[in-house]
Structure 1
Amino acid sequence: MTAWTRPTTAPVPLDRYLGVNVFELPKQPGLIALHTEARDAETGQERFVRATGRIIRLLLETALSHLEHRPHAVTTPTGFTFEGLETASPTLYAVSIPRAGDALEGGLREIRPDTRFGKILIQRDVTTKQPTLFYSKLPPGIAGSEVLLLDPTIATGGTLLTAVNELIAAGVPEHRIVVVNVLTCPEALATVLTRRPDLRIVTSHIDESLTDQAFMLPGIGDFGDRFHGTVAEA
């Protein structure tokens, strides 16, 4: 396997995708405060889980709004009719990329306990940064459906593309995949969207750039380790 190298071409201008394929949460003070707490190297597991959990809740509600909806009228307790909406499909499918992606499952189970979950295990080589698919377990009926793909950090884009390819191979149309992401960067978005231009990505923040070591700048650390409390003691 060859080592990861920074793309030699300039990143795709984000203006081309923002509001079309990429939907970043508004930079409101409350969200920035949550990012500040989560990114702080001094933040322990309990505070990290609490801060990112609140970010994830905002992300999930936004991502759900990108699913197909249809008109649905209800009668209120006062006897009047409210002309509202409901999701077009009665079944919601979500696929996480363990182990960091598991962090988004809990919030989604609270919002939509009827969700059918799947997992695609992909590990990135520490040296080469290249992804390797280990297994894929997808729920029955996922072909042709809208799917939330849960991946909290997208640095190089390689892991996400591997997962997307697996979903497409299982019959999920590219344009029906909504990626739910806490943190990404321009390089990753360029890599992913030049190859899969019909994806939709809902993210809470787009970082400045990617370092030569394939870390996002300023970054958040290893999301899975920090969420599960497995960060090695200094």
Structure 2
Amino acid sequence: MIEDRRWEGVYSFEDSPFLMEVLTELRDKNTDSIAFRKGLVKLGRYMGYELTKTMEFEKIKVETPLEETKGVIAKDRKNIVIITVLRAAIPLMEGLIKTLEHARVGIISASRGKPPEFEIDVKYVKIPEIKPEDTVIITDPMIATGSTLTAVIQEIKKYNPPKRIVVLGVLAAPEGIEKIKKKFPEVEIFITKIDRELNSKGYILPGLGDAGDRAFGEPTKV
């Protein structure tokens, strides 16, 4: 895990050969939907493990069949709310919840409009109770313009304030991170890799295309 010096509280996993290999497969235009979904699940699970390194642990005593010894329990790991941004984040959430099995899960449906405005339409919100001791993890594979996530974070802030708000994703453009950190400097961002830039259509370069379409198929045009 590497902290990016351009911002406070922004981390990437470019030092992990395993995650870089998974990301390489996701980038490949020839990777089919099944393999793409499986790759997102792998990333979610592994990044969940890494995220626990930033959580609070409590030292305890435990009795083995032979003697007493020292152990730990992760208090924060049992106080997790995962907010899934439909639809591309579903496999990412599936991987996360394999590590953070106590998590309560919420859903937000938010769609991004056309350039250059990129207006965000939040259509559906279903969030469980948020407690002061909770870590809220927002899963969204692509942090592109940052518009969707700023809208989602604004929605979450209507509820009780949690201990932490964390954004977890696969790829990010510097422009998107900058927008989020400028409006919500306290939000932490964990991303597999930070890419170069956005194009005029708001896609990350080099990127991997539309994560939702690649995971679940392109929607029917009417």
Q: CA deviation at 1:83?
A: 3.5
1:41 aligns to what? 29
SS at match of 1:129: coil
SS at match of 1:23: strand
Higher strand proportion, which one? Answer: 2
8 A contact 1:146–1:172 mirrored in 2? no
Q: 1:84 to 1:150 in 2, by over 3 A?
A: same
Question: In structure 2, what residue type is equivalent to 1:66?
Answer: T
The reply on whether 1:32 has 2:6 as its aligned counterpart is: no
TM-score (norm 1): 0.83
Q: CA deviation at 1:76?
A: 3.5
Q: CA deviation at 1:154?
A: 0.7
The reply on whether 1:159 has 2:131 as its aligned counterpart is: no
Query: How far apart, in 2, do the equivalents of 1:57 and 1:194 lie?
Result: 29
Question: In structure 2, what residue type is equivalent to 1:96?
Answer: T
Instruction: Write the deviation string for residues 112-137 of structure 1: whole angstroms up to 9, x where unpaired.
Output: 33321111111111343221111211
Question: In structure 2, what residue type is equivalent to 1:152?
Answer: P
SS at match of 1:136: strand
SS at match of 2:193: coil
Instruction: Write the deviation string for residues 189-234 of structure 1: whole angstroms up to 9, x where unpaired.
Output: 11110111111111110001111221100011111111123478xx
Q: Which segments of 5 or more consecutive residues in structure 2 lack a partner in the other structure?
A: none
2:46 aligns to what? 58
Query: How far apart, in 1, do the equivalents of 2:60 and 2:119 lie?
Result: 46
How many residue pairs were aligned? 215
Query: How far apart, in 2, do the equivalents of 1:165 and 1:27 lie?
Result: 32
Q: Which segments of 5 or more consecutive residues in structure 1 lack a partner in the other structure?
A: 1-13
Q: CA deviation at 1:24?
A: 0.7
* Structure 1 runs (4+) greater than 4 angstroms displaced: none
8 A contact 2:165–2:188 mirrored in 1? yes
1:8 aligns to what? none
Query: How far apart, in 2, do the equivalents of 1:16 and 1:42 lie?
Result: 33
8 A contact 2:45–2:98 mirrored in 1? no
The reply on whether 1:123 has 2:78 as its aligned counterpart is: no
Query: How far apart, in 1, do the equivalents of 2:124 and 2:168 lie?
Result: 21
1:146 aligns to what? 135
Query: How far apart, in 2, do the equivalents of 1:171 and 1:221 lie?
Result: 35
Q: CA deviation at 1:88?
A: 3.9
- Equivalent of 1:223, from 195, 211, 214? 211
Query: How far apart, in 2, do the equivalents of 1:103 and 1:112 lie?
Result: 14
Q: CA deviation at 1:99?
A: 0.8
Higher relative contact order (CA 8 A, sep 6+): 1
The reply on whether 1:79 has 2:78 as its aligned counterpart is: no
Question: In structure 2, what residue type is equivalent to 1:162?
Answer: A
